Amino acid sequence: MSRHYTFFLSFLTLTVGLLGACNSNNSPETTAEDKAGNTAGNGNSIRISRAQMDESAMEFLSFIQQEVVNKIEAPGFVRVLPQYQVRVTSLTAGHVREVYVREGQWVRQGDPLFMLENPNIIEMQQVYLENQATIASLKSDYERQTVLAKEDIASEKTLLKAQSDYRSALARVNGLKSRLEMLGINIEQVEEANFVSSIIVHSPIEGGVAAMGITRGMYLSPETEAVEVVNPNKVYLELSIFERDVLRLAERERVRFRLGDGAWLGGSVLYIGQKVKNDSRTVSVQVQIDKFSDNLLPGMFVEAEIILEGIVTSTLPAEAVAEVNGKKYALIKESQDGQNYTLKRVEVIPELTGDGFLTIINATDFPPGSLFLSSGVERLISE
């Protein structure tokens, strides 16, 4: 009996010791957690301490009112105004005798580009001079027949023939004269029988020689492009806008654009196309550039943004919103106990604003002055 009693006391002492040891091990951990605060919560509530917020650079903030600028992103190219891009051809065929320019050279309006020679040029001057010589006699005969017809001496048929001969010759002379003048031939010298066998083609505008299609000695036909002259200072942008965005546009809307990763340049909408391209379902929009840059060359690709009228909205930093199971949430300050805070998970409807902020569509669902956690939301919600 005594031995059984002694065994029972020993077993009881051992059990109490083990329980004491377990309690002593758990107690310090719980106390430390209470002192430091915790992020555990029930349901949609999360607790966090001031120390944890400072350690993670978190803070509370209310909705930030910002002017959100709506914009339409559009690709495009640098184009030259049509009147400042000329493909020079010759008005008559011939062999290229001299070339006065080279590709890349800057020329002024009226500078010589190339010389063209052809025996037909001499023949044209000769025909003009011959027809010019007959004008005086044909005119005199027409005037004489007019007088005779009034006196009933000449028949009306004779008068009409004289009139026809004179007017036909006059038309031929004027036509040849115009052609010679278009070729740059001096009419006064032709009338003095000083013929030329070659003509010089001049640049119609000021600009740079963008392309050369001729060499000395080659035969040049009127339909062949000889020289292309482009003035890169007279450029604009041609943007492609999807048809769904066209109705949002208006002339004089502000535009910003850049080449690659370069600095942003400014402009404004000049013209909006009136036709949708079938292949791309886009509309062409022309943009006038505010200030010319030497870096803008015809044919360059640009990325542009058409800035539409802005509106003031309530925004939060993107780090203040997290996604869970397809829904977006923020953490709103619900209560405070000393240096500890209780946060509540609330659903928000965000829309991308840009520059790291989100427009909160349902901001009016929350009381004025509501405070939200600025960052770290995704980590806290997922714990």
Domain at 162, CATH number: 1.10.287
Helices (H), strands (E): how many in the chain? 7, 24
What integer best gives the mean pLDDT of the chain? 85
Distance CA 184, CA 83 (A): 21
Predicted model pTM:
0.58
Distance CA 176, CA 32 (A): 109
Please list the residues that pair with 328 across neighbouring strands: 323
Out of 310, 330, 362, a domain closes at 310
Let me know whether 63 and 129 are in one domain. no
> Residue 299 maps to which CATH number?
2.40.30.170
Let me know whether 318 and 299 are in one domain. no
Alpha-helix residue ranges (DSSP H) falling in 114-211? 119-150, 156-182, 187-191
Residue 219 lies in a domain: no
Quickly state the pLDDT bin for 29 (edges 50, 70, 90). Answer: very low
Quickly state the pLDDT bin for 42 (edges 50, 70, 90). Answer: low
Let me know whether 299 and 272 are in one domain. yes
pLDDT above 70: residue 14:
no
Let me know whether 175 and 125 are in one domain. yes
Residue from 108, 106, 110, 75 nearest 294 by CA: 106
Residue 328 lies in a domain: yes
**Across 56-71, average pLDDT:** 88
**Across 83-97, average pLDDT:** 94
Report the pLDDT value the prediction gives residue 354, as an integer from 0 to 100.
Answer: 67
Residue 109 lies in a domain: no
Distance CA 69, CA 254 (A): 11
Residue 375 lies in a domain: yes
Q: How does pLDDT run across 355-381, given as a tens digit for each residue?
A: 788 999 999 999 999 999 999 999 888
Let me know whether 305 and 234 are in one domain. yes
First-to-last C-alpha distance (Å) of the chain: 58
Let me know whether 355 and 296 are in one domain. no
pLDDT above 70: residue 30:
no
How many structural domains is the chain composed of? 3
Q: What are the b/e assignments for 154-171, b being 16+ CB within 10 Å?
A: beeeebeebeebbeebbe
Structural domain including 338 reads 45-68+312-382
Let me know whether 288 and 333 are in one domain. no
Report the pLDDT value the prediction gives residue 156, as an integer from 0 to 100.
Answer: 76
Residue 20 lies in a domain: no
Residue 273 lies in a domain: yes
Let me know whether 234 and 303 are in one domain. yes
Let me know whether 316 and 303 are in one domain. no
pLDDT above 90: residue 220:
yes
Distance CA 29, CA 33 (A): 6
Please list the residues that pair with 68 across neighbouring strands: 311
**Parallel, antiparallel or unpaired: strands 85-88 and 227-230:** antiparallel
Distance CA 236, CA 94 (A): 37
Out of 170, 196, 222, a domain closes at 196
Structure tokens, 342: 């209780």
**Across 281-292, average pLDDT:** 93
Let me know whether 321 and 269 are in one domain. no
Helix axes 156-182, 119-150, angle to 10 degrees: 150
Let me know whether 128 and 58 are in one domain. no
Residue 181 backbone phi and psi in degrees, to 5: -65, -40
DSSP state, 364? G
Let me know whether 296 and 328 are in one domain. no
**Three-state secondary-structure class, residue 45:** strand
Residue 259 lies in a domain: yes
Long-range contacts of the stretch 161-166 (C-beta < 8 A, 24+): 162/138, 165/138, 165/141, 166/135, 166/138, 166/139, 166/141, 166/142
Is 210:228 a contact under the CB 8 Å cutoff?
A: yes
Report the pLDDT value the prediction gives residue 257, as an integer from 0 to 100.
Answer: 95
Distance CA 333, CA 342 (A): 6
Contacts of 158 (CB under 8 A, 6+ apart): 145, 148, 149
Please list the residues that pair with 111 across neighbouring strands: none
CA Rg, the chain, in Å?
45
Report the pLDDT value the prediction gives residue 28, as an integer from 0 to 100.
Answer: 39
Alpha-helix residue ranges (DSSP H) falling in the chain? 2-36, 50-55, 119-150, 156-182, 187-191, 243-246, 377-382
Residue from 114, 46, 24, 12 nearest 329 by CA: 46
> Residue 347 maps to which CATH number?
2.40.420.20
Report the pLDDT value the prediction gives residue 37, as an integer from 0 to 100.
Answer: 41
Distance CA 333, CA 371 (A): 6
Q: How many CB atoms lie within 10 A of CB 194?
A: 10
Residue 78 lies in a domain: yes
Out of 293, 310, 327, a domain closes at 310
